[in-house]
Structure 1
Amino acid sequence: MTERSADMAAESTTARHEPEASEAPQYQERAHEEAWEEEEMSGTSARDRMLTAVFGLLIAGWAGFFIWARRDSLSAATAPSDWVSSLFELMVPVLLLALLWQALMRTGRAQQRRFADTARTLAEESSALEQRLTVINRELSLARDFIASQSRDLESLGRVATERLSSSAETLQGLIATNGDRVDRIGQVSESAVANMEQLRDQLPVLANSARDMTNQIGTVGNVANHQIEGLVAAMRQLEDHSAAGEAHVEKISSLINQTLLEFEDKSSQLGRNALSTFEDINRQSEDFQRQIHQRDKDAVAETEARAERLVDFLETRNAKLIEIEERNIAQIRERVNTLSSECDTILDRLRDNREEAGKELGDMIEALEERLTKAIERVSTTDEGAIANARLRLTALADEAARIDASLAQGIIDFEADLARRQDEAARREREALSALENRLAQFDEQIGSREEAHLAHVEQLAQRGESVAERLAAIDADIASLGARFAETNGDITSTVEQLEGRLHATRLILDDNSRVVADLTGESVRLLEILQAGKIQAEGELSGAIAEAQDRLTSFHGHAERLAALLKDAEERGAVVASHVQTAKHDGTGAVDVLQKLETQLAEVAERSKALAEQTRGELQEAIAALTAGSQAAVESLRTDQSEAIREVADTIARDSNAAISEALGREAQSTIAELEGAAQRASEVSRESARELRDQLAAVNELTGNLEQRVATARERAEEKVDHDFTRRMAAITEALNSSAIDISRAFEDEVADTQWAQYLRGDRGIFTRRAVRLLDKQESRAVHEIYMEDSEFRETVNRYIHDFEAMLRNVLSTRDGNAVAVTLLSSDVGKLYVMLAQAIDRLRD
């Protein structure tokens, strides 16, 4: 596009400079002719001056002669008709002389030369104007053709691109839909697979437990059968020596039992193999299913990536084709421009050839132009007078309109100032209300702080009461601990008794087992003796063998029943022992807690006992020492009484009194010190409690201050955010309205002048959005308000644009007036280009008068 515009500019410049180059020799020739004409005019101007002087002298002579000849009648004439007739008689010869002078001057060569110069200049100007018009028309046609071709090319390219993009978008949409369906199906399959895996995982423990239970049952059955078979085999081996029939019977039984055992083992092994195979199949199927899911996911991802790559390649190829098409179109346009430039050159050559013929035709047209010029001069004089009168009327109207606008602006400023004062008063009132509300809140905070202080003091009192109740509870806990100790002793006795009972029962069960073992031994002995008897009476009583075997089987079944009852008794004993063990464990657990508490109490009591013991020993030693000293003193006193005099007795009595006073004072001092220490401890505890309460109160007050500070900060931040939001919204709305006004100004300026310079569009695209607004203001200055009103009433599109412009500007003006400094901003807005255009349009459509 830039190359094309450059080519067009070069062609236009060449087209402009060619007529200028062709006109250069004409201007030189004209300069030479003017110099020669000036030389001739310098010669003819003397003749003209002489004729003018002669005719002036003739007119003066005629006037003098007329006055001299009619002096008597003029002096005697008193009626106006006489004066008019005299004046008519005087002016007739003067007019004849003037017409004669005019005819002589017109018939002169200077006047002819002047008309010829005027005709020549008009011809030259008309030719230059014609050439310029042809160049301009040619440039306009070239630009129009170029713009039309470019618009067609761009339209075709845009249509092709949109079609290709729409088809690509449809294909992409279809691919995305199919991929989405596949992904949904894969998700459903994966969800069902996960559900199946979870069901299998939930059922695997059940299967494992059932298989384990089955194997345990088979094992128990096999063990029982093995034990029974072993017993039977042992019995039958003993009977085998005595009877062949018993041996055959035993062999049959053993074979049957072996078969049953083999069948049990085969079934158990088969069940185990089946379970393992089923588990392996399940694991294999799950792994295969997981591999299939992963493979499908990978295939789907690979397919989507391949399709995306194919789509990217397709778009790249399409873009390359579009670029090639654009380059071919550009080359074709350049070829067209070159051909047009060659055609323009040929046209210019033809115009140069036709110039001579046009010069001849212009010579013929000069005479017609002279007549037209005379008429044109008269018309110009009349139009000038009418234009001057209209201009004066317009100036007076504009002056009146300017005065009215100034008055309206002054009134608007007064209204703005009044509104500003009202808004300031309202803002001051709001600030006072906010301050009063803040003071009320602070008073509420003070009341809440006082109430909280009272509540804190009540809480401190409650804490003191709770401390007393806790002390009472501790005393009750001590009593409970003592009762627990007693109960623990009782439970220890109960546990020992139950343990002893359990030991007795176990001993009884042990005795029963010993008796059962002895019975079993007796039975075995009896069975041996029975076998011996059977062996001895084999020959005599072969028919009684079956009865003996049946009896032995009955006894064995009875023994089996005894064994089962014994097992039940043992199981019951085990269960009771477990219950007793659990009781013992719980008792031990409870007892350990109680024992810990008791141990702590015992340690405390031991410490107290040790202290009391040490104190008792100390007091005992002190008493013993005092008694010893007293006995020694009494003995010494008795001996001194016996030996010394009364003065010595007084001295001893004084020393005893002093010693007793010292001992009493020391005892009282120790008691006073202990009481003082206790009082000091109580005072210290009270001071600590008060210090802690004061600290807690200070922390609460600090928390309240922090809360108030946070609240004030939040209020300030909320206010700032609200103001920022309002300012941001206001600026955004103002920017949008200003953009709309500038776009409307483009349509308004287009209504008065269709052509727009490329430089203006370039400035608009570079960011100067107000250029068309200024252009509209400049065009409206040249137009009359009546013409604007007629266009407003006739053109519906222009009327809609003007109404939208006025509506948007008034909305912006209302928003500006609603702000804090709205009056000053409104005055600035009205003095801007947008405001000037609004005032002009409103005055033109008589909106301000309403």
Structure 2
Amino acid sequence: MADSPAQQTEATNMSSDEHAADNVSQEHQPAHEEAWVEEETSEASSRDRMLAIVFGALMVGWAGFCVWAQRDSLSGGAAPSDWMSGLFELLVPLLLLALLWQALLRTGRAQQRRFADTARMLAAESSALEARLTVVNRELSLARDFIASQSRDLESLGRVATERLTGSAETLQGLITVNGDRIERISHVGESAVANMERLRDQFPVLGNAARDMTNLIGSVGNIANDQVVALTSAMGQLEDHGAAGRAHVEAMTALIARTIAEFEQQSSQLGNNALATFADLNRQSEDFQRKIYERDQQALAETEARAEKLVDFLDSRNAKLIEIEERSIAQIRERVNILASECDDILERMGENRDQAGRELVDMIEALETRLTEAIDRVAMTDEGAIANARARLSALAEEAARIDASLAQGFAGFEADLARRQDEAARREREALAALEHRMAQFDEQIAGREEAHLAHVEQLAQRSESIAERLAAIDADIASLGSRFTETNGDIAGSMEQLEGRLHASRQTLDDNSRAVASLTDDSVRLLEVLQAGKLQAEGELTGAIAEARDRLTGFHGHAERVGALLKDAEARGAVLAGHIETAKNDGTGAVEVLERLEAQLADVAERSKALAEQTRGELQDAIAALTAGSQAAVESLRSDQNEAIREVADTIARDSNAAIAEALAREAQSAITELQEATERASEASRESARQLRDQLAAVNELTGNLEQRVATARERAEEQVDHDFTRRMAAITEALNSSAIDISRAFEDEVADTQWAQYLRGDRGIFTRRAVRLLDKQEARSVHEIYMNDSEFRETVNRYIHDFEAMLRNVLSTRDGNAVAVTLLSSDVGKLYVMLAQAIDRLRD
């Protein structure tokens, strides 16, 4: 393990401090002391040489003298005992001389000089030890500063993590606030849709009034016709005396009017049945719409509350876990720092005690040496050697203790750094996991919102299209009403022409009608009965239509109440803070309901237009038939009476024609004009309401489109992040599985051939991880499937390795097939070296036989 820059700097400072301590100890020695030591050393060495020469000469002389004295015994062949005695006499004086020489060396200045050298050496060692202890103290202070800085870094890291968590919480709160604003906007859209429905509901009385006006118009036309019939009856009363021809015409007219009344009653009953069916359908659709809105609102409220509670619980638990982990990590680090500080203090205290003890022992030893200088030479030598050995042992023990302390400190620092790095990695990993889980949940939430908004946009587009179609149909209704007005004008002209013709023909028979009043009396009675029948039919039609309209009005009032309750429920759901998806679903449901209501209104408007048109055509036909019948009857009466009272009848006919023509023309023109005006006003109001609804829907669509664009952008961003994370995780997982497969291929190839070339190992170490996989494929090509199967069945280690290899490869293959381009990647994977080895092994062990 390489030393860190801080440790290298500390080692450099330590060596520099040691050299400085040596230099200081050397600089403090005086110059004259050095000169004295050199002079003493030279004098001692010269005296030692003189003593050595003298004692050497004495030993040699004594040895020569002994040999010269024993020359006779040596030449004469002495006995062994003589040899022993001669040798003893020779060696004893030599030993005495050697002892005397050593005694002279151990006494005096030489011994003091040796003690002084020993003291200087001990002083130097103590100085070096003191310098070493100073360096150790400095290192300990540096370590304490380093630990303090690490503690500050940890505290700052905790603060940064807390700030990040706080920022994430604020971001989530901001997103929730934005979603709340968007929900409020969608609720406003729903309220606008409800207001539009209320406006459309307000148009129903207008349509009812239009139908009522049309009924009044029909009644007024009937009254006018009744007046005309009364006038004709009074005129025809004058023709009563003219005979059976007038009665026949009157009977024919009565039958025609009876048929007309029957057809009118049939049309009125059909109109009432259609109105009842339409309002029953409207009531049923309103109840279905109310029930759907209530069910979806309750479902949206439940989903919103559940999601909000889950999100709050998840954020609270995650925040509590992070705070607990951070507090526990800080507490453990502080505990480790306190333990390390206490250990450092204990080490310093022990080192101080050891230093004091060594100083005391050194002083005691020096005093003992000074007190024992007068003892025997052997004890002095033994004591000297023992003291030096003890001093060296203690110095070596101190050095070992200092080295052990350095090693323990270095080991403690390394463990502390490793623990700190591990905790930092663990905290970063947990933070990444939490962020990944949160991003995954947000991605799911965004996907749901995107799906629901797409459905909502589709429904809104359909609503816009249907609104446009409604506008087109209203324009067509305007055109139909305009054409109806033109037809009314044409009918007026035709009626006016017919009346003019009738006036011309009856002008001549005016005087004759006075004489025939008795003949017309019966016609008057029949006309009165016809009038009563017409009034009864009119009252019946008005009663049924009024009852149907009142029932429809009551049902619309109930629907308005239901709509107000639905609006209250929507406001309550908004107050509870429902999420965006539920309100989008609610807005979609409201839009669907608005579309259905518009469709029903469109159908009703079309039905009213068709009925108005049919009623106008029926009225015009009936009037034309009545006028034609009157004209035919008058002509027949005039022709039958022309022979007797031509001039009288002409005058009466002229009078009746003028009066009836003017009255009928005036009544039809007035009623037709009022009916056309009211229909045009109702059409304009309906068209304006539709345009206003279309404008509001366009504004709402623009707001929803903007919201959808923002959500799509967020979804795209979240999807890109998720895809990048998934691709990164997938690549890392595939690399790990491939590495495991290559490692298993080493054991598989070893089962067929034990020897591996050094070049292959070198290539494997240089990064070619697939070399042993290719080697295993080559070896399996040379083997037969039966032999591979036998090895698989007999060798348990080989079987376990093969099963693990196949399991890992199949797991990787499943992961690859689950991706977007999994088939192509799977084919490439099977054609690679690891894929070939998998296929060969699977075929050899009968895994792919089936």
Q: What TM-score do the two structures reach when normalised by structure 2?
A: 0.30
**Which has the bigger relative contact order, CA under 8 A and spacing at least 6?**
2
Larger gyration radius, structure 1 or structure 2: 1
